[in-house]
Amino acid sequence: MDKVIFSGVQPSGNLHIGNYVGALKQWVTMQEGRDAIFCIVDLHTITVPQDPKVLREKILEMTALYIACGIDPEKAHIFVQSENPNHTQLGWILNTITSFGQLERMTQFKEKSQKYGENVGLFDYPVLMAADILLYQTDEVPVGEDQKQHLELARDLAKKFNKQFGEVFKLPIPVIGKEAARVMSLQAPTSKMSKSDVNQLGTVYLLDSEDQIREKIKKAVTDSQTHISKDRGSEGLSNLLTIYSAFKNQTLTDSYNQLEGKSYGEFKTLLADLVVLDLSQIKKKYEEIRGNEEYLNQILDGGRDFAIEKSNETMQKVLDALGLGRTA
Ligand code: TRP
């Protein structure tokens, strides 16, 4: 049987090249020869304040963008989390084997509760994420480095459940992208490129215009040197080289070898050309399919039906193991 891969993305903000390089590109490669499931995790998104109208809109936007980036709806399943009630049901059940201490340690909770104020959903976020993954007997979960801690919790909960109630869950393995995984802000290269950066010059969005992309790359922070050299280079420059390597599908070492001696100005133009070329293709495809809501809804309907059917198998085992409900 093919390996199951599962990942999720929140339908909030706008996707940027950090998401593309760190997650989407990897998903596109991984969908080959595997049973790939991609979930639009709207229930996670409401753990911080959202505008309901925008949230709805984002679901179709995300779906279209995934496809524009190369997720093939013939191969992969795309669905919306809130359309499969098994997620909240299993989330509730896993709550009962999760300790406060396990959740208090989560750095994302600390960060987000400081930023947005706390609520129980935000605290419980990693348990719902564990449910997402465990429902599908997932083998591999491609995620960014920042989600590693949540993945460990999912494994711990699966182990604990299996030990206490019998073997029900497969233990998922995190797949964290290597050198291309971390794209930093173009303006503050010590922090991650982010959807919610106040400085809009720091983030290149997938749907930016050519002029916006060129301007952002041109204004990206580097350092007081003028030419690329292997032995020095600031965080800003190495971030640009990371982006270059990811878009070129080559290693950082290859990029240094190829670009050594070039002026920063020349390099930025090469980088902008590369990013513009890729993103203009994505944008073109996106614009073609975003307007075809019937097509997008068909994909999400199929994804939902698949998700419910597949996760029902695990859910029934869980209910049986715990003695919940009546005998099926
Ligand atoms: N927490 C993830 C993020 O913010 C999104 C997510 C929710 C997810 N459920 C998941 C990722 C399950 C992988 C698997 O990036």
CATH code for the domain in which residue 256 is found: 1.10.240.10
144 and 226 in a single domain? The answer is: no
**For residue 180, what are the contacts with CB-CB under 8 A and spacing of at least 6?**
21, 22, 25, 242, 245, 246
Residue 79, token pair as written in the block: 């669905």
**Tens digits of residue pLDDT in 101-154:** 999 999 999 999 998 999 999 999 999 999 999 999 999 999 888 899 999 999
Asked whether residue 172 is assigned to any structural domain, the reply reads yes
Would you name the residues annotated as active-site residues? 112, 192, 195
Does 186 contact ligand 1 (Cβ within 6 A)? no
pLDDT at 180 over 50: no
129 and 229 in a single domain? The answer is: no
The 3-class secondary structure across 174-196, one letter per residue, is: EEECCHHHCCECCCCCCCECCCC
Does 239 contact ligand 1 (Cβ within 6 A)? no
**For residue 29, what are the contacts with CB-CB under 8 A and spacing of at least 6?**
none
Asked whether residue 208 is assigned to any structural domain, the reply reads yes
Strand partners, 142: 175
Residue nearest to atom 15 of ligand 1 (CA): 9
CATH number at residue 72: 3.40.50.620
134 and 207 in a single domain? The answer is: no
User: DSSP 3-state assignment of 173?
Assistant: strand
Report the separation in Å between the CA atom of 263 and the middle of ligand 1, taken as the mean of its atom positions.
39
Report the separation in Å between the CA atom of 161 and the middle of ligand 1, taken as the mean of its atom positions.
21
231 and 282 in a single domain? The answer is: yes
49 and 119 in a single domain? The answer is: yes
Asked whether residue 195 is assigned to any structural domain, the reply reads no
Compute, in degrees rounded to 10, the torsion defined by CA atoms 95, 97, 98, 100: 100
11 and 93 in a single domain? The answer is: yes
93 and 161 in a single domain? The answer is: yes
38 and 10 in a single domain? The answer is: yes
Q: Please report how many Cα atoms fall inside a 13 Å half-sphere around the Cα of residue 210, on the Cβ side.
A: 9
109 burial class (0-12, 13-18, 19+ CB within 10 angstroms)? buried
Average pLDDT rounded to a whole number, residues 183-207: 90
Average pLDDT rounded to a whole number, residues 179-198: 82
Residue 276, token pair as written in the block: 């513009």
61 and 163 in a single domain? The answer is: yes
132 and 99 in a single domain? The answer is: yes
Q: State how many domains the chain has.
A: 2
**Tens digits of residue pLDDT in 219-257:** 999 998 899 988 767 899 999 999 999 999 999 999 999
18 and 128 in a single domain? The answer is: yes
CB 55 within 8 A of CB 12: yes
Asked whether residue 192 is assigned to any structural domain, the reply reads no
How far is 294 from 290, CA to CA, in rounded Å? 10
Residue nearest to atom 6 of ligand 1 (CA): 8
268 and 120 in a single domain? The answer is: no
Residue nearest to atom 14 of ligand 1 (CA): 7
Asked whether residue 59 is assigned to any structural domain, the reply reads yes
Residue type, 171: L
**Domain span holding position 221:** 200-287
CB atoms within 10 A of CB 74: 6
Asked whether residue 229 is assigned to any structural domain, the reply reads yes
